[in-house]
Structure 1
Amino acid sequence: MTLHLTPIPTTELVDFRFGHWTDRTGATGCTVVVAPAGAAAGVDVRGGAPASRETDLLRPENTVDAVHAVCLSGGSAFGLEAASGVARELEARGIGLDVGPAVVPIVCSSCLFDLAFGDAHARPGVDAGIAATRVALDDEPAPLAEGTVGAGTGATVGKLNGAECAMKGGLGARALALGGLKVAALSAVNACGNVVDPKTGAPIAGMRADAGSADIVSMEDAMIAAADTMAMPLDRTNTTISCIVTNARLTKAQCTKVAQMAADAYAHTIRPTHTTNDGDTIYVMASGTAKEDYPLDLIGLVATRALEDAICGGCRAADGILGLPAYADIAR
């Protein structure tokens, strides 16, 4: 029997629950992925400017072997507070690592920089993390909204020539099935570079020729042309943060390997990527409930495809806010 990759709703990853908290006025938000029963997890950090929490415990030699949530957030380093809200809400529900006198939820988190786009004092905090977690656990499961929502609310892309020539990024969520293997990817795309369709190379969102233009120009070509004068006007203010979830049976080390393989999706869709001004991070969570074992390389390939779809989908679904155009505003 020949198997084919099939798009599925994120709700088919039944071991995980998803929720957003969105502040469109402040142009920020957070997105939470909850594994109520816990999941093996790993992480890959490629960018030079990450803002993260609890990534060290994902190292294979460390003893914690289950993660209960991943929080993707705006707000730069301030947004790490949202993860504390996630932990508080999970503790209140008895979800976490039983350490005897208490239950300690293991919550990993990464943040993107959106302070220069909306209200610099609007950041997802403890209350935002609580709210997103309640949406994830209490609302009827539904395909996760994409675009200018959650952690993608204040996301922007294509910033070599400054914010006025950039475009809106967004939050993408896509899932694929291959037989009994299921993989979903969430990505908040706030890249320094342009986002392109990996199948055609056509630009989706990125640096425009000028503030009033609808023409997206190659940022890589612009960097080469300006090699002797190039300067990054928004230093350390970009990142694409993602979480991949699967029902596959994986160890912590294998989760990390899948995250490393899936980083190819960034290279396929973001140009340039993994710059010193990006904090690119990918988490992988595996529930281990699949009925069969699958080759690690196959899982990595499916994860890469799902993440490519999420990155492109998030930018295509974004709508322009605060005067910055999105794909829908300039698509021909």
Structure 2
Amino acid sequence: MTATLLAHDGHIARVQGIQVGHFTDPRRPTGCSVVLCPQGAVGGVDVRGAAPGTRETDLLDPSHLVQQVHGITLSGGSAWGLDAASGTVRWLEEQGVGLDIGVGRIPLVPAAVLFDVMLGDMRIRPDAAAGYAACQAASHERPAEGSVGAGAGAVVGKIFGHARAMKGGIGTASFTVDGVTVGALVACNALGDVYHPHTGQLLAGARTADGQQLLGARDALLRGEAPSAILAGSNTTLGVVATDAQITKPQAQRLATVAHDGLARAINPVHTMSDGDTLFALGTGQSGRNLGLMTLFTLAAEAVALATARAILLAQSVDVAGQERLPSWADWQARAHA
């Protein structure tokens, strides 16, 4: 079943009207990712984690005036990484994209960040130039996955300490039904472990004290093992779920809410006090078609679950000077078959 996940060829840029780009900083594991909808899309958001870092999420409230946004920025760098969205705004403005205010256009770009500043020099973090570079790289092609963009510095399974964690990343998936596509892009930096969403197989997370095996944080907690002291806000899974179905802004909000079911299928524990789990939803309407909400929501949750797992399966181990190596799922598989 893991091979099936790796073979999945769907991706969020298959959604009509969507472009995706990454910037990965070569100086340390960090970066940002953009999901652009230059022709506009209705948007929604559901912030489920208790320690979020966000920008421009209030305008996505269904009762608020603005109906469309022009992109989403996901970034590493914790609160400093929110600056990457300024680069996205600048790039879109240069393309003539944004809300027409008569004297010019204002691109509307909500954003969210994850905490990756424990890997290397924390003074290196995504800024406006990084967001701009991600936009320059954006296309309708399949986005890179694994340890790139907003997932470059992602780490999962930190419940029993960062030294016993594993490498996270960014992944994508999509499904098409009756001419309507629903896709997801997920950067997984979860406090919890990550599981195969179909089989329940533990893929990555907290390791045993000797670092040689997966511990199984859920079972350890149920046995009464005490977690390590956890820095608030030091985790977070971010994502965008997008569709080219014709949906309303309230429906986009609901799409973001239901999409969190996908996180719950792949991450345990999820939505903790130390995670800032945030999912955005975009509806471009460019398929010109409608799809029943039951089917639409089912596709969204499934795409998020698969994208989360792919973020782990395609991540790469990381070595940072003076720090212990963080292994990836791929490394462990190679070792098992050596």
Q: After TM superposition, is the score higher than 0.5? A: yes
Residue 147 in structure 1 maps to residue 146 in structure 2: yes
Residue 309 in structure 1 maps to residue 306 in structure 2: yes
Residue 89 in structure 1 maps to residue 86 in structure 2: no
Residue 253 in structure 1 maps to residue 283 in structure 2: no
Counterpart residue identity of residue 259, structure 2? A
Confirm or deny: 8 A CA contact 1:319 1:328 kept in the other structure: yes
Q: Partners in 2 of 1:243 and 1:255 — Cα distance?
A: 11
Residue 289 in structure 1 maps to residue 286 in structure 2: yes
Deviations 1:272-312 (A, max 9, x none): 11100100000000001223211112111001111111000
Q: Report SS of the residue matched to 1:8.
A: coil
Displacement of 1:103 after TM fit?
0.6
Q: Partners in 1 of 2:182 and 2:120 — Cα distance?
A: 33
Deviations 1:247-293 (A, max 9, x none): 01111110010111110111110011110010000000000122321
- Of 257, 263, 267, which residue of structure 1 is paired with 2:260? 263
| Superposed CA RMSD | 1.4
Residue 223 in structure 1 maps to residue 221 in structure 2: yes
Q: Partners in 2 of 1:11 and 1:110 — Cα distance?
A: 20
TM-score by length of 2: 0.92
Q: Partners in 2 of 1:211 and 1:38 — Cα distance?
A: 50
Q: Partners in 2 of 1:125 and 1:54 — Cα distance?
A: 17
Q: Paired residues, what number?
A: 322
Displacement of 1:325 after TM fit?
0.3
Aligned to 2:5: none
Aligned to 1:111: 113
Displacement of 1:225 after TM fit?
2.9
Deviations 1:121-158 (A, max 9, x none): 11100100110011115xxx421010000000000000
Confirm or deny: 8 A CA contact 2:241 2:281 kept in the other structure: yes
- Of 32, 46, 66, which residue of structure 2 is paired with 1:64? 66
Counterpart residue identity of residue 264, structure 1? D
Q: How does 1:1-332 map to 2 (within 5 A)?
A: 7-136=9-138, 141-213=140-212, 215-226=213-224, 229-322=226-319, 323-331=325-333, 332=336
Q: Partners in 2 of 1:186 and 1:222 — Cα distance?
A: 30
Confirm or deny: 8 A CA contact 1:74 1:124 kept in the other structure: yes
Deviations 1:170-195 (A, max 9, x none): 00011111121101100000000000
Deviations 1:209-241 (A, max 9, x none): 02531x1111112223346x4443333200000
Q: Partners in 2 of 1:195 and 1:11 — Cα distance?
A: 24
Q: Partners in 1 of 2:26 and 2:161 — Cα distance?
A: 22
Q: Report SS of the residue matched to 2:138.
A: helix
Given the superposition, is the C-alpha separation of residues 52 and 211 from structure 1 closer, same or farther in structure 2, using an over 3 Å criterion?
A: farther
Deviations 1:63-104 (A, max 9, x none): 000100100000001000000010011111111001111210
Counterpart residue identity of residue 152, structure 1? G
Confirm or deny: 8 A CA contact 1:41 1:283 kept in the other structure: yes
Q: Report SS of the residue matched to 1:161.
A: coil
Aligned to 1:3: none
Q: Partners in 1 of 2:13 and 2:224 — Cα distance?
A: 46
